[in-house]
Amino acid sequence: MAVVRTLRTAGAVVATTAAALLLPLTTTPTAQAAPPSLLAPDTEGLTPQLAIAYTLAAHEAHAAGVPLWINSGKRSRAEQAALWRDGLRTYGSASAARRWVLPPNESTHVTGQAIDVAPRAGAAWLQRNGFRYGLCRSFDNEWWHFELATLPMTPCPPRVPDASARPRR
C-alpha cells in the first residue's frame, strides 16, 4: 500500500493516505447500515485523486465558514452531448460554443477529471486555496470550473482564456 506523507500547512491537512479515506468504501457490509462515505457529496464518478482532493478542500472551506459544493461533476457522454447540442443552439456555431462547452470526446467532465463548484464565494476560496490540494481553476471565463492540475502545494499552471484555447485531446 502506497502511503502519502501528511503535510500540514496552517493547521490544515493537505494530503492523506487514500486508504484512510477509502476504507469505509471497501469494507464488507454487515447487517447494519453501511457507514457514510468519507468523501464529499457529489464526488461519485470522479477520479479518486480528484474526489479526495476536493473532499479535503471542501472540509477546510467549511471549517472556515465558506460554503462550497459541487454543482456538476462527472457527466455521462449523453449528458455532455446534450450540453454540446444546447451550446450549438445557444451560441450559433461550434467555435463559439467551444468557449463554454466541449463535445463529449473532449470534456474532462466525461472522464471524471473536472468539477464545477458553487457558490461564487466558495469558488473564490477554492481559487485562492485549491493549490494546496492540487486543484486549479482552468479557464478565465469559467469561475466555477476546477481540475486537478498540479501537485499539492505547488503553483497552478496558467489558466487559458476558455475551453476553446485548450489543446484538443
DSSP 45-79: TS-HHHHHHHHHHHHHHHHTT---EEEE----HHH
pTM of the model: 0.79
Q: Is the pLDDT of residue 38 over 60?
A: yes
Mean pLDDT score across all residues of the chain: 84
How confident is the model at residue 24, as a pLDDT?
39
pLDDT tens for each residue of 124-137: 999 999 999 999 99
How confident is the model at residue 37, as a pLDDT?
78
Q: Which of 112, 116, 121 is nearest to 101 (CA)?
A: 116
How confident is the model at residue 18, as a pLDDT?
39
Q: Is the pLDDT of residue 34 over 50?
A: no
Average pLDDT score over residue span 9-26: 37
**Residue 138 contacts residue 149 (beta carbons within 8 Å):** yes
How confident is the model at residue 166, as a pLDDT?
87
Range in 2-6, 76-80, 99-103, 161-165 with the lowest mean pLDDT: 2-6
